[in-house]
Amino acid sequence: MTTATTGKVQKKRRRTDSIIPPMTPKLAVGLTIIGVIVLFAVLGPLFVQDPWRVSDIGLSGPSAQHWLGTTQTGQDVFAQLAYASRGSLFIGVVVGALAVILSSFFGIVGAYIGGMTDEIFSLISNVMLVIPGLPLVIIISSYVPHKTTWLVALVLAITAWAGAARVLRSQTLSVRTRDYVLAARVAGEKPWRVLSVEILPNLIPLLASQAMSAVIAAILGEAGLSYLGLGATGSITWGTMLYYAQNGLALKLGAAWWFAPPGLCIALFGAALAMINFSIDEIINPKLKAATRSQIKQWKIEEKAGKVRTDKEFAAHNGAPAGNAKEASA
């Protein structure tokens, strides 16, 4: 293998390592939990009965016939949980995708173009940022009599992208002034290619982190709306399960098998996404790569005291190789 080929392979490997988070126990646990919940949401509804079917076995505990017991009207809780997982994950994925698209458009594209376009996009982001999200979602949902899951996802996405757009704008303003971006523009590269090839790869970890946060916020927001009775009409999610359990006095009657499974799914899914998000943060903030908890605490103390060290100094102080420090600060 020639020296040039070896250099290209090493450069491609370094670029891949800067995008993909290293496998850690925290990341492995998060991915495992997400995989189990997604698999259950995709395959579960294929093997369970109709979640709305009423039987004469009302409010019975877990048994061989009903693994998670039944509701007050005899509906199978396990079947409802399978369909609810699919509904909640669908809303979370849709809101996450829409939030990333909107934040990328108003944050990355506006900052790259600059000028009046950037000012207008920034104004729109600031206006959406100061609008209270939950009250707006409640007002819109209360005025629409028949709400679909797409409508609920769209309403949640409208209030979830502005903060991410501000972060992406500031990062894009920093990246667009780097030498390789300026060289590509001077060479006559088309704007869409500069954005997709030179700028966007540097923002992938940040976009992934924003998507995780949007999915968590969407699932919690939808659960809150459904718990208030403002969720999607005719659909079943983790939030609607909690809503029906509340109306059926499940807590007062001691029917933990009715309200505990959806609450546990929300908690586990949010914790798993948070674990993955923490792993992505190690790419966004290189100081977290080789730092222990005590070192991070010391760094925060120094930051508050106004004695912030550079990434290279921090890595050298904590025993990281000089090459890794240069790559981390790049």
Q: Cα separation of 27 and 137, whole Å?
A: 33
Is residue 5 one of the residues assigned to a domain? no
Two structure tokens written together for 327: 């790559």
Is residue 75 one of the residues assigned to a domain? yes
In terms of residue numbers, what domain contains 89?
23-284
In 3D space, the residue among 207, 213, 211 whose CA is nearest the CA of residue 169 turns out to be: 207
Is residue 1 one of the residues assigned to a domain? no
Contact 200, 108 (CB under 8 A): yes
pTM score of the predicted model: 0.76
pLDDT for 234 equals: 79
Is residue 264 one of the residues assigned to a domain? yes
The DSSP output letter for 288 is G
Domain end, chosen from 266, 284, 302, is at 284
Is residue 11 one of the residues assigned to a domain? no
Q: Cα separation of 24 and 16, whole Å?
A: 17
Cβ burial of 188 (10 Å; 0-12, 13-18, 19+) is exposed
Residues 247 and 142 in one domain: yes
The DSSP output letter for 266 is H
Residues 183 and 246 in one domain: yes
Residues 257 and 294 in one domain: no
The DSSP output letter for 176 is T
pLDDT for 32 equals: 94
Residues 201 and 99 in one domain: yes
Domain end, chosen from 262, 284, 306, is at 284
pLDDT for 180 equals: 84
pLDDT for 288 equals: 55
Residues 208 and 180 in one domain: yes
Is residue 7 one of the residues assigned to a domain? no
Element spanning 41, H or E: helix 25-43
Residues 136 and 208 in one domain: yes
Two structure tokens written together for 75: 């509906």
Residues 30 and 142 in one domain: yes
Residues 34 and 80 in one domain: yes
pLDDT for 322 equals: 41
Residues 279 and 294 in one domain: no
pLDDT for 294 equals: 61
pLDDT for 77 equals: 92
Is residue 107 one of the residues assigned to a domain? yes
Domain of residue 175, CATH code:
1.10.3720.10
> Chunked in runs of 10, what are the mean pLDDT values of the chain (330 residues)?
51 52 79 94 90 84 86 89 93 92 90 88 88 77 78 85 89 86 84 85 85 89 84 85 88 87 93 86 61 61 66 54 40
Q: At residue 301, what is the residue type?
A: I
Residues 163 and 48 in one domain: yes
Work out the end-to-end distance of the chain between its first and last CA atoms, rounded to an integer number of angstroms: 27
- Cα→Cα distances 73→56, 245, 280, Å: 7, 11, 45
The domain tally of the chain equals: 2
Kindly report, residue by residue over 242-282, the tens digit of the pLDDT: 998 988 888 888 888 889 999 999 999 999 998 888 877 77
Residues 293 and 159 in one domain: no
146: left (phi over 0), alpha (psi -120 to 50) or beta: beta
Is residue 2 one of the residues assigned to a domain? no
Kindly report, residue by residue over 68-113, the tens digit of the pLDDT: 889 888 889 999 999 999 999 999 999 999 999 999 999 998 888 8
pLDDT for 38 equals: 94
The upper half-sphere exposure of residue 156, i.e. CA atoms within 13 Å in the direction of its Cβ, equals 33
Residues 125 and 194 in one domain: yes
Domain end, chosen from 284, 299, 321, is at 284
Cβ burial of 22 (10 Å; 0-12, 13-18, 19+) is exposed
